[in-house]
Amino acid sequence: MKNYAKLLEGKYAVVTNGGDPCGSAIVKKFALHGATVAFGVRDIETGERILGEIAELSPESFYLVLDLADSDGIEEFCRKVKERFPLTTVLVNNPYADIGKTITETTEEDYRYFLQVNQRSIMQTLRAFYGPMRDNKCGSIINISSNTVFKPIMGNPFLTLSMGTIGGLTRVTAFEGGEFYVRVNEILSGILPGQSELSPCPLKIEGSHVEGMADLVLFLASDMSSYITGQSFTVDGGARRQLFA
C-alpha cells in the first residue's frame, strides 16, 4: 500500500520557477509530500521566504536565482542542481513570459524573449535532466503551459504562440521516454503567469486556486499517475469545454 501522505518520499524534484504564486504552491506541496526540492526564483528575498516556509519539512531543499530569459543562467542552474542532487526524478517546467502587447506592437526582441523563456528554457532543462532519468528508468516531467493556447486572450499573441509549442515537445518526449519509464505530461493552466486566480470559468471554486494546481502537479509527479503519459490537462474550471454559458 502506498503512503498517500508522502507521495514523493525520498525524491529529488526541480521546479524552474518557484517564485510566482503557482510555483511556490508547487514547491510547498512537494516538500509536504517528502520531496527535496531545488527551485529557481527571480530574487533572493522570494527564495528566502519560500525556503523559510519549507525548511522544517524539507531541510535539504534549496533555491537558486534564475532568470529563464538568460540561457547561460539556465545551464548554470542545471549544473549546480546536478552537483547537489544524486538523481532528479521530478522536473517541473513552469515558464512565465507574459507581456501585454498586440501583434503590431510586438518587436523581434519580444518574440525572442518569449521563445527563450517559454520554450527554449524547457528544452535546456530537458537536455540536462532527461538523460539521467532515462538511464535510471525513472522520472516524471511536467510542463506547465497556458490555456490561452485554446482560448487566446486579447493582446498577447506570443503567449499563445510560445505556449502552443510546449504540447508537441511534451508528446515527443513522452514517446522517447516511454520505454524507459519516463513520463511526460502537460498542464494547460487557466491561471495566467504570475497570477493566483483562475480566469473566469463555469466552475465556482472555493479556496486557493494555486493549491488546486499544485495538487494536479503532485498527482502527475507521484506514482498515483503511474500509467499516464503524453497527456495534456486543461485546468481551467471547464472554460474550454463551455460552448454556451
- Return the number of the residue (54 or 198) whose C-beta is nearest another protein: 198
Shortest distance, position 145 Cβ to another protein, whole Å: 16
- Return the number of the residue (112 or 175) whose C-beta is nearest another protein: 175
- Return the number of the residue (83 or 179) whose C-beta is nearest another protein: 179
- Return the number of the residue (100 or 178) whose C-beta is nearest another protein: 178
Distance between CA atoms of 80 and 90, rounded to whole angstroms? 16
Shortest distance, position 22 Cβ to another protein, whole Å: 12
Q: Which helix (H) or strand (E) holds 161?
A: helix 157-178
Place of cell 522536473: 91
Shortest distance, position 73 Cβ to another protein, whole Å: 32
Shortest distance, position 203 Cβ to another protein, whole Å: 6
Interstrand relation of 36-41 and 232-235 (parallel, antiparallel or unpaired): unpaired
Give the Å distances, CA to CA, from 160 to 145, 170, 199, 204, 236.
9, 16, 15, 25, 15
Answer whether 104's CB lies under 8 Å from 147's CB.
no
In the complex, the residues that contact another protein under the rule CB under 8 A are 1, 3-5, 7, 33, 171, 174-175, 177-181, 183, 190, 198, 202-205, 207, 209, 212-213, 215-216, 218-219, 223-231, 233-238, 241-243
Shortest distance, position 58 Cβ to another protein, whole Å: 16
Answer whether 25's CB lies under 8 Å from 15's CB.
no
